[in-house]
Chains A and B, each alone.
Chain A
Amino acid sequence: MAFHNDGIDMTASDLDQEERAMIQEIKRSLSKFKKHRGNLIPILQSIQEKHSYLASAAMEMVASHLDISPSEVYGVATFYNQFRFHPPGRNQIKVCLGTACHVAGGDIILENFERKLGIKDGETTADREYSIERVACVGCCALAPVAVINDNVQGYMQPSKVEGIFLQFQIEREREERDKASE
């Protein structure tokens, strides 16, 4: 299967515009949080939930809102697994490598995703369509091995199921393109 790059390459100005809009939004939402150190992690979580990652500018803004140094924010953010510092792919693939999944061959599932997309865990494809992450345990051990595709938990994964997931993505994309063309 090939991954299309056409039409979704972003130019620098697109990115700038995207970032400007993000900064505006963060400015507005920060005012809802009290200036209390205990709010640091909830603030970072809410920013990531909305924008899917923590940009440098965002961390600076949080620091000045809470009146702490940007270093402090950075130190905290880099400590926790949850926080990302680069935009992830539009489709996020998380492969569980909890104990039960490991025993059931979770690493083989991860390898299949990696091979298919040509990226390693923690990376995003060049077209920003997919990113792969390994997660410690999503708590679905009885269904091992497990992968989480865009918040949908998929139990009893097999290498052949990996193929199926991409096939589905492709079908959806083709449908979207058709819909767009017919509009």
Chain B
Amino acid sequence: MSEQKAKKRFAPIQSESKHRMEEQKRESIPTIFLVMSTCGLASGAAETKQAFEEALSEKSIAARIVPVGCIGHCYAEPLVIIDHPTAGFPPICYYQINADRARILVRSYLEGGDPVLKYVLGAMEENDLIPAVMDFPRFSLEQRLVMEHCGLIDPDDIHQYIARGGYSGLVKALDSDPEEVINLIEESGLRGRGGAGFPSGRKWRIARTAEGDGKFVICNGDEGDPGAYMDRTILESNPHQLLEGLAICAHAVGANQSIVYVRAEYPLAVKAIQKAIKSAKELSLLGPSILGTSFSLEVSVFQGSGAFVCGEETALIQSIEGKRGMPQHRPPFPVEKGLWGRPTVVNNVKTLSAVPPIMVRGAEWFRTIGTERSPGTAIFSVVGNVKHPGLVEIAMGTSLRTLIFDVCGGIPNKKEFKAVQIGGPSGGCLPASFLDTPIDFDSLTQAGAMMGSGGMVVMDEDSCMVDVSRYFLDFTQKESCGKCTFCRMGTKHLLNILQRITKGEGRDGDLELLETLSKDIKDGSLCGLGKTAPNPVLTSLKYFREEYEAHINEKRCPALKCRALTAFYIDLEKCARGCEVCVGCCPVDAIFTTKGRKKAIDQELCVKCGECRVACPPEYDAVFKVSPPELAPVIERPPEDIKEKK
């Protein structure tokens, strides 16, 4: 290995990047950082951007608009950070900035110097004027390694990543012996972030020692778990950290070919990673003889075509080979015999993105974060009934309670916490008694859930656990590849039974059958999808059995969620004469006027969408929901009204 060859070649690139950053600072014109990732755009970031541009040119204000990736605070989108160096304030983070607010910010802050406190989330630096975001639990309890730069840099500009220390991990790796790199990753205790938590260092070592040339490294970004989107965010917001990790891995295991596998449903992520590969190649950070060393790496992007099962590594490889994505029996494991029969490392987006910081700061540093057996951080997409949904990166070992109540603000609308679903279709639902469970691979598995890909759905008292199980089985059943008997037929049976129960057609013996079937599917299936598919059923049966029993024995849905078991009615005592609000909002004309000129619901027509309940003015609050449906008072529709309708 030549002495620090890569470092010498990298030095001028790094100083160029730093120079660019300092140059921008020296210009001292305001910079508007605008989150333009998928969730930002969905909240109207494109309109916000246009409004900023128009307002700036109208007022002839010189300012730079920098599109950045997602910072993870999805509840606050469209999120904007304004750095106005001459105004006397630190950079300020603003939340929910629509087009109107963008115009106000330009007028009041950029022109007038008033930072418009009512839209401020917090300052980005400690100061005496505005509370800093770092002091809020949503920020201070987080620990960001993988998402460190997400939302703070323009993903399309490689220099911004380099200026913040990016690619120095790769440089270090290139100047080290591959064996040392693997030792480092092994010592760090990094475990695969794709779900099962296999030690990454051990995987790399097997691949390194595996016989055969033409090895591959594949980054698994086939994030199919409904409710998880951290891989998308990382790809959209900082694709370079992933590419850096990918290159370090390839160098360590001796691979010269790599593939980033991204879902085709993530068009922005696909574009971002393609762009990133191109700019890294231009700087000789990827491609042939990287930074003048003997190491070359080709990187291509493969778009997954929408099959959840392709998250399983053997199925993923089948799909790259142009076949049906059906899992294969392991062994042989891909690290021995993978893509096109070559040794192949398949690592998740988060795993590879965790590698550069370890490379730079060392294994010991990494082990100070997290727990003994699960070092490092975990990224969760916390969604559902929480005040501040979004992406959160926390140290392993943090309790569920801290994550849900302190970081994400707890349950909104004064509702009670009921359950948290962790790990998506392969995971489980945990009740309140598990809130003090530390988040790490082993504790979650022990509780019956699993780390999975990091989807976390928080549910309040209005969520029905039977319905949630039915939802997940509906998903896995649709996504089963159909190869093996247990998964193909077994998940369909589970779904059918759950469907019957939510419709009030459950019978004696159903719960026992669900249990036996679930156990057999777990033990009998070919791949991970089938082996974990019954988890949502098993955990909810364990922790919420009485809810299943209410559905079966009393035909009642305690959470008032299952539509066949609920009914809406209007309390005639509370309903206001002459008020027509609910009538207008009903999509199926199910609401009619009673003889007393009040309103009632035609149960035959009602589709139970709940719009009338939302629409009914709070001072009357006359619409009620009950279960079982027989509890709703019967009010006959006047015959002339029916005739009129016809």
Contact = CB atoms under 8 A, between A and B. Distances in A.
> Do A and B come into direct contact in the complex, CB within 8 Å?
yes
A45 B306 CA distance: 11
A41 B305 contact: yes
Interface in A135-183: 135-144, 146, 151, 153-155, 159-160
Contacts of B322: 37-41, 66, 76
Contacts of A142: 39, 74-75, 77, 381, 383, 389-390
A79 B483 CA distance: 12
B442 interface: no
B296 interface: no
A80 B463 CA distance: 31
Contact of B229 (A42, A111, A140, A154): A140
Nearest to B41: A153
Interface string A13-56: 00000000000000000000000011111101100000000000
Contact of A79 (B227, B324, B389, B472): B324
Given A76-B322, A97-B226, A99-B383, A136 B609 contact: no
A92 interface: no
B42 A155 contact: yes
Interface residues of B, number: 60
Contacts of B610: 105, 108
A83 interface: yes
Contact of B383 (A39, A40, A112, A144): A144
Contacts of A38: 320-322, 340
A100 interface: yes
Contact of A83 (B305, B319, B421, B475): B305
Interface string A74-92: 0110011111000000000
Contacts of B587: 112, 115, 159
B284 interface: no
Interface in A70-127: 75-76, 79-83, 97-100, 102-105, 108, 111-112, 115
B233 to A, nearest CB: 8
Contacts of B551: none
B85 to A, nearest CB: 32
Interface string B446-459: 00000000010101
Nearest to B267: A151
Contacts of A115: 587-588, 607
B585 interface: yes
B42 A143 contact: yes
A38 B216 CA distance: 14
B344 to A, nearest CB: 13
B484 to A, nearest CB: 15
B611 A45 contact: no
B456 to A, nearest CB: 9
B389 A137 contact: no
Given A143-B39, A160-B611, A99 B455 contact: yes
B227 A100 contact: yes
B491 interface: no
Given A41-B322, A115-B587, A138 B305 contact: no
A139 B324 CA distance: 24
A1 to B, nearest CB: 12
A42 to B, nearest CB: 7
Given A81-B306, A82-B305, A137-B225, A99 B38 contact: no
B323 interface: yes
Contact of B38 (A39, A82, A153): A153
A102 B383 contact: no
A37 B317 CA distance: 13
Contact of A98 (B226, B320, B326, B481): B226
Given A76-B324, A99-B383, A143-B39, A45 B74 contact: no
Contacts of A81: 305-307
Nearest to A40: B322
B480 to A, nearest CB: 12
5 interchain residue pairs of minimum CB distance? A142-B74, A40-B322, A139-B229, A81-B306, A99-B227
Given A108-B610, A154-B42, 17 more contacts: A37-B322, A38-B321, A39-B322, A41-B320, A76-B323, A80-B306, A99-B226, A99-B383, A99-B421, A100-B384, A100-B389, A141-B229, A142-B381, A143-B77, A144-B384, A153-B42, A155-B42
